[in-house]
């Protein structure tokens, strides 16, 4: 039985003597009778069962509730939607996994199996008692000292080590859950268990500093946008001077993410200087997986919240087949449990075939089929296609899910494809954005015949087997759309419901912050785009038509009257596509 949380794995063995319950050769064995674990973590409950020879078991499941027809499988219970999976781990062994545990999951879990006739049914009694707890700090006031206790609703296994935080800073680490000290009413205290620091208790205080997150742990898809929502408090006689997010400390202090390498144009602080400290991260990358902390500095002190854990994952189709079965079972797998119980979408040969809250899908086995999955609302972030039998199946894949390109430039969008043993009779690129002009809105038309792209599109690299590239020249902002490749065979076509490559066309614009500036102040000029250009481009700055600097932003601190002038920017390699000029006016200081 293993307990897991994001970023940490704790294997716990409880009551290791197997409990066997049953008679007449019908029995269920549980590894343990009771478990105490954390809210928001993952737990595995294991069992094994026996039955007399001559019978065949066809149905196995776990349950906690009954309805009029009998026990309700957890996989059919709406309270566990998208959070439970069953797996066979050995002969007659069965494991239940529950993710994103809630305190309401505290219950007695029982395993039940049925023979092929449906007449013989057996339930293992009394089951496994699961208790789910959060951490809570309780204060006991004494004569000389006050005592803080890191409290749980059940007894945690293996004598855990407790970690105490004061105003967001680690203060103490001890095997005792109590912490006696003299406490100020403006200080905040919270606790965690070692190995599970991401599952911190809420802070307690009277007139205190605190940072509270809507989700302590978040799992999100690569390429998506995530909001790390939080709120904060501070003493009423203080005033906020600065507020920012960070993941790392430098030698002197925390490093503001807005100036950290790799986050430029990638994050947005949505908070205010009152109570909201929400951080938005766009176009998530696997490297963005980290613990994010909010820090604010007042006129009298500074405070940093505990980390909010973000794990970035991709979708991957895992497949289970049988030599003797005509069915294939597919799982849309991630490295962490996606937040907010998503709905999964399944594609077969590029056609949408199912939409369900379950991450599993079963279908009739056909050797040439390929499958992929996506999450509703993020259909452009689909998994790579997998083949049912080896690699001999239909598929179209794109090296880039999204592309950002400059207005006026030339762009190549490529794909690789496989038609298995079938002969391709025709193929072309299209954009569903143009579907209103098609003769039949369900029959995509070749982009080279579209008047809006006349003389601007061509196919290159067609002689290379299994690869096709669409080249668009003189890009326009109205070219922003999703582009897909489709092929047809003598019997069928590879459908167009499968996501392709999304193109965003942007121009360059100089933004001046603040828009009005006086000598001696600081001014920032930013070369802005509506999307993030790839390959970390080098920006070139011009003042009155002459090159002056190379950087994404131009900082003038302090600014003087000599800095006034007309500024524009371009991207290295595309110097012929500069931004419009923006005039910087510097006012003289009042005498």
Q: pLDDT tens digit string along 85-116?
A: 888 876 788 999 999 899 999 999 999 998 87
| Mean pLDDT across the chain | 84
Structure confidence by residue, pLDDT tens digits, 255-298: 888 888 888 778 888 887 678 899 999 989 999 999 999 988 88
Tally of residues, the chain: 591
> Of 45-54, 141-150, 475-484, which has the strongest mean pLDDT?
475-484
Rounded mean pLDDT, 434-459: 86
Number of H helices, E strands in the chain: 0, 53
Nearest C-alpha neighbor of 98 from the set 148, 63, 146: 63
Structure confidence by residue, pLDDT tens digits, 489-524: 776 666 555 678 899 999 999 999 888 888 888 899
583, β-bridge pairs: 566
Structure confidence by residue, pLDDT tens digits, 195-224: 888 788 888 876 677 888 888 889 999 999
3-state secondary structure (DSSP) of residue 452? helix
Write phi, then psi, for 296 (nearest 5 degrees): -135, 145
Torsion of CA 557, 560, 562, 563, to 10 degrees: 40
By CB atoms closer than 10 A (0-12, 13-18, 19+), residue 48 is: buried
pLDDT computed for residue 226 by the predictor: 94
Assess whether pLDDT exceeds 50 at residue 5.
Answer: no
Per-residue burial over 116-139, b if 16 or more Cβ lie within 10 Å, else e, is eeeeeebbbeebbebbbbbbebee
Distance CA 292, CA 25 (A): 54
Assess whether pLDDT exceeds 60 at residue 9.
Answer: no
CA dist 420 → 200, 348, 364, 461, 469 (Å): 52, 14, 18, 20, 20
Distance CA 264, CA 266 (A): 5
Cβ count within 10 A of residue 76: 12
Q: Specify whether the CB–CB gap between 124 and 50 falls below 8 A.
A: no
pLDDT computed for residue 15 by the predictor: 36
Assess whether pLDDT exceeds 70 at residue 484.
Answer: yes
Sheet holding 226-228, edge to edge: 226-228, 279-281, 267-269
CA dist 55 → 58, 99, 120, 429 (Å): 10, 33, 9, 56
Rounded mean pLDDT, 340-349: 86
CA dist 585 → 66, 185, 511, 521, 567 (Å): 75, 50, 13, 12, 11
Residue that the structure tokens 């781990």 belong to = 89
151, β-bridge pairs: 136
Assess whether pLDDT exceeds 90 at residue 408.
Answer: yes
Nearest C-alpha neighbor of 414 from the set 520, 300, 315, 501: 501
> Of 249-263, 302-316, 385-399, which has the strongest mean pLDDT?
302-316
pLDDT computed for residue 16 by the predictor: 34
More confident residue, 172 or 590: 172
Structure confidence by residue, pLDDT tens digits, 516-527: 888 888 899 999
Rounded mean pLDDT, 148-175: 89
212: tokens are: 């509270």
Q: Specify whether the CB–CB gap between 56 and 115 falls below 8 A.
A: yes
pLDDT computed for residue 145 by the predictor: 75
Q: Specify whether the CB–CB gap between 471 and 458 falls below 8 A.
A: yes
pLDDT computed for residue 6 by the predictor: 38
Q: What is the pTM of this model?
A: 0.52
């Amino acid at each position: 039985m293993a307990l897991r949380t994001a970023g940490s794995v704790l294997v716990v063995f409880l009551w290791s003597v197997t409990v066997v319950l049953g008679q007449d050769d019908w029995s269920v064995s549980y590894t343990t009778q009771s478990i105490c674990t954390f809210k928001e973590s993952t737990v595995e409950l294991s069992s094994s069962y026996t039955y007399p020879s001559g019978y065949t078991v066809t149905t196995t499941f776990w349950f906690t509730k009954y309805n009029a027809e009998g026990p309700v499988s957890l996989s059919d219970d709406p309270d566990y939607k998208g959070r439970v999976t069953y797996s066979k781990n050995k002969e007659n062994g069965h494991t239940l996994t529950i993710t994103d545990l809630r305190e309401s999951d505290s219950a007695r879990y029982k395993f039940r199996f049925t023979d092929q006739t449906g007449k013989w049914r057996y339930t293992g009694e009394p089951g496994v008692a699961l208790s789910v707890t959060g951490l809570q700090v309780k204060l006991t006031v004494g004569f000389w000292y006050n005592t803080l206790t890191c409290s749980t609703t059940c007894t945690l296994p293996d004598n855990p080590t407790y970690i105490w935080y004061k105003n967001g800073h680690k203060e103490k680490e001890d095997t005792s859950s109590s912490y006696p000290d003299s406490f100020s009413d403006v200080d905040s205290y919270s606790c965690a268990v070692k190995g599970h620091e991401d599952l911190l208790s809420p802070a307690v205080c009277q007139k205190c500093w605190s940072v509270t997150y809507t989700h302590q742990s978040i799992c999100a898809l690569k390429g998506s946008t995530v909001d790390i929502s939080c709120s904060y408090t501070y003493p009423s006689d203080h005033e906020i001077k600065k507020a920012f997010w960070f993941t790392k400390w430098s030698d002197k202090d925390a490093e503001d993410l807005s100036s950290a390498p790799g986050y430029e144009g990638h994050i947005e602080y949505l908070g205010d200087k009152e109570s909201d400290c929400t951080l938005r991260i766009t176009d998530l990358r696997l490297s963005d997986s980290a613990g994010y902390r909010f820090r604010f500095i007042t006129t009298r002190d500074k405070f940093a919240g505990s980390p909010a854990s973000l794990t970035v994952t991709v979708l991957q189709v895992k497949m289970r087949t049988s030599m003797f079965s005509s069915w294939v079972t597919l799982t849309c797998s991630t490295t962490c449990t996606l937040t907010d119980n998503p709905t999964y979408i399944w594609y077969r040969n590029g056609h949408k075939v199912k939409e369900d809250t379950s991450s599993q899908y079963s279908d009739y086995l056909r050797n040439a089929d390929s499958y992929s999955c996506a999450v509703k609302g993020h259909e452009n972030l689909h998994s790579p296609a997998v083949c049912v039998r080896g690699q001999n199946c239909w598929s179209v894949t794109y090296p880039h899910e999204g592309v950002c390109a400059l207005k006026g430039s030339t762009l190549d969008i490529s794909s690789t494809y496989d038609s298995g043993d079938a002969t391709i009779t025709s193929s072309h690129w299209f954009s569903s954005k143009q579907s209103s002009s098609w003769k039949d809105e369900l029959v995509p038309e070749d982009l080279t015949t579209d008047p809006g792209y006349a003389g601007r599109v061509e196919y290159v690299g067609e002689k290379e087997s299994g690869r096709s590239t669409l080249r668009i020249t003189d890009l326009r902002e109205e070219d922003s759309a999703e582009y897909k490749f489709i092929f047809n065979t003598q019997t069928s076509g590879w459908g167009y419901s499968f996501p392709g490559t999304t193109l965003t066309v942007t121009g360059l614009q100089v933004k001046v912050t603040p828009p009005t500036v006086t000598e001696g102040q600081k001014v920032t000029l930013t070369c802005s785009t509506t999307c993030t250009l790839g390959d970390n481009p080098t920006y070139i700055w011009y003042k009155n038509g002459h090159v002056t600097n190379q950087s994404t932003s131009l900082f003038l601190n302090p600014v003087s009257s000599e800095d006034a002038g007309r500024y524009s920017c371009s991207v290295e390699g595309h110097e012929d596509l500069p931004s419009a000029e923006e005039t910087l006016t510097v006012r003289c200081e009042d005498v």
